[in-house]
């Protein structure tokens, strides 16, 4: 199911997306990094993660990973990883295809590159077009890249588990433009935390078979169906909307509209949702703050009422100050010399 097509059929197309210029810039930068058999990429990796291995030379293996379909490419990538590890030299896999089980179904992933070290270590390489200025990049973008790379690490671990002498590195190489130039630079990102979080999240996912078993018989997500039928079909699969979805899911705008219509606190963000405990709607939160609903012994309700009282006190103080300022201005105007008033 293409979520973008489905979102358009529902009347909530996702207006976000990377511009064609950004794609071209990113592709040009990646091509520069991988030019000459990946010499610059391997140089950056060796400087930061080379360890005691000899420096990569002109004999670095660059296996052909072409095959029919994603399943065939994933099998070819796994074979290339095993062969490179057994050879005991440097190898650069350009856009390998990895497979990871998500909710009982295979998901195919394509990292920018994976480097095999002579000691059997596998390192994920992520190439991004956002800059590193004074050796640091935007924290949110680095965090997103780390989460993405952590998924690749998990997928590689499945292959490494059946490959003698292989080990997947928990530190990945992030390659970006240096300062405001197009020259590549790199930093090492530890993804152990992101890997652990992703692994827990994947383990908690409901299997697709179980979700399908709970759906009404004959239900379809065919975009050719009327939008009312599609809307009803999606309602059978409760969304887990959060503002972060807007950057990654084509159906996010549809789910946001539903979440807002229901007054769900999830629309305010996961952190807010976590702080509000058993209060699940905005109306319920406002009622609890106003003292109309909720158990006063509930810490969340008590905090909301305290915050509401402080707000009311601040507004009252502000009103008094504004009234005093207006009165002072009136007195000053009345006391001004007659000539000065004329000049004004």
**pLDDT for residue 338:** 57
Bridge pairing between strands 171-177 and 167-168: unpaired
pTM score, whole prediction: 0.70
Average pLDDT of span 239-243: 81
Does the structure show a pLDDT above 80 at 15? Answer: no
Please tell me the predicted confidence (pLDDT) of residue 344. 47
Q: Please give the pLDDT value at position 287.
A: 94
What mean pLDDT, rounded, does the chain reach? Answer: 88
Pairing of strands 105-109, 167-168: unpaired
Range 38-57 average pLDDT? 94
Across residues 38-67, what is the average pLDDT? 94
Query: Quick one: pLDDT band at residue 14, thresholds 50, 70, 90?
Result: low
User: How confident is the model over 79-136, as pLDDT tens digits?
Assistant: 999 999 999 999 999 999 999 999 888 999 999 999 999 999 999 999 999 999 998 9
**Does the structure show a pLDDT above 60 at 340?**
no
> For residues 99 and 74, is the Cβ–Cβ distance under 8 A?
yes
User: Interior CA angle at 207 toward 201 and 213, to 5°?
Assistant: 145
- Residues of the chain with pLDDT > 90, as a percent, come to 56
Is a pLDDT exceeding 90 seen at residue 341? no
Q: pLDDT grade, residue 342 (50/70/90)? A: very low
Residue 317 CA to residue 338 CA, distance in Å, equals 34
**Structure confidence at residue 18 as a pLDDT band (50, 70, 90):** low
pLDDT of 43: 96
pLDDT tens-digit readout, 131-166: 999 989 999 899 999 999 999 999 999 999 999 999
Distance CA 53, CA 101 (A): 33
User: For the chain, what percent of residues have pLDDT higher than 70?
Assistant: 94
d(CA 42, CA 103): 35
Tell me the sheet residues that pair with 169: none
Judged against a pLDDT cut of 90, whether residue 240 lies above it is answered with no
The more confidently predicted of residues 301 and 233 is: 301
pLDDT tens, position by position, 158-209? 999 999 999 999 999 999 999 989 999 999 999 999 999 999 999 888 787 7
Confidence check: pLDDT of 20 > 80: no
Distance CA 162, CA 70 (A): 20
Q: How confident is the model at residue 24 (pLDDT cuts 50, 70, 90)?
A: confident
Q: What is the predicted pLDDT for the residue at 16?
A: 55
């Amino acid at each position: 199911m293409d979520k973008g097509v489905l979102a358009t059929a529902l009347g909530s197309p996702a207006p976000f997306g990377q511009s064609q210029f950004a794609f071209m810039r990113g592709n040009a930068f990646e091509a520069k990094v991988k030019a000459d058999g990946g010499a610059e990429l391997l140089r950056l990796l060796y400087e930061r993660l080379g360890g005691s291995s000899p420096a990569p030379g002109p004999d670095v293996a660059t296996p052909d990973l072409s095959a029919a379909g994603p399943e065939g490419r994933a099998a070819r990538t796994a074979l290339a990883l095993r062969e490179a590890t057994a050879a005991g030299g440097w190898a650069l896999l350009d856009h390998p295809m990895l497979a990871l089980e998500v909710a009982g179904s295979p998901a195919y992933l394509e990292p920018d590159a994976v480097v095999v070290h002579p000691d059997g270590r596998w390192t994920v390489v992520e190439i991004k077009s956002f800059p590193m200025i004074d050796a640091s990049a935007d924290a949110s973008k680095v965090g997103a890249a780390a989460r993405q790379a952590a998924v690749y690490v998990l997928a590689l671990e499945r292959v490494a588990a059946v490959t003698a002498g292989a080990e997947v590195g928990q530190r990945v190489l992030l390659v970006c433009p240096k300062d405001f130039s197009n020259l590549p630079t790199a930093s090492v990102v530890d993804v152990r935390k992101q890997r652990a979080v992703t692994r827990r999240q994947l383990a908690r996912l409901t299997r697709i078979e179980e979700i399908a078993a709970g759906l009404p018989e004959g239900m379809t997500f065919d975009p050719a169906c009327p939008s009312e039928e599609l809307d009803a079909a999606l309602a059978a699969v409760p969304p887990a909307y959060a503002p972060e979805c807007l950057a990654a899911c084509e159906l996010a705008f549809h789910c946001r509209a539903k979440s807002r219509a229901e007054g769900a606190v999830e629309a305010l963000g996961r952190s807010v949702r976590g702080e509000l405990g058993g209060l699940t709607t905005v109306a319920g939160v406002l009622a609890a703050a106003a003292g109309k609903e909720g158990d006063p012994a509930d810490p969340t309700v008590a905090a909301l009422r305290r915050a509401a009282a402080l707000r009311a006190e601040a507004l009252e103080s502000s009103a008094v100050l504004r009234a005093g300022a207006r009165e002072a201005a009136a007195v000053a105007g009345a006391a001004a010399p007659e000539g000065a008033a004329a000049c004004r």
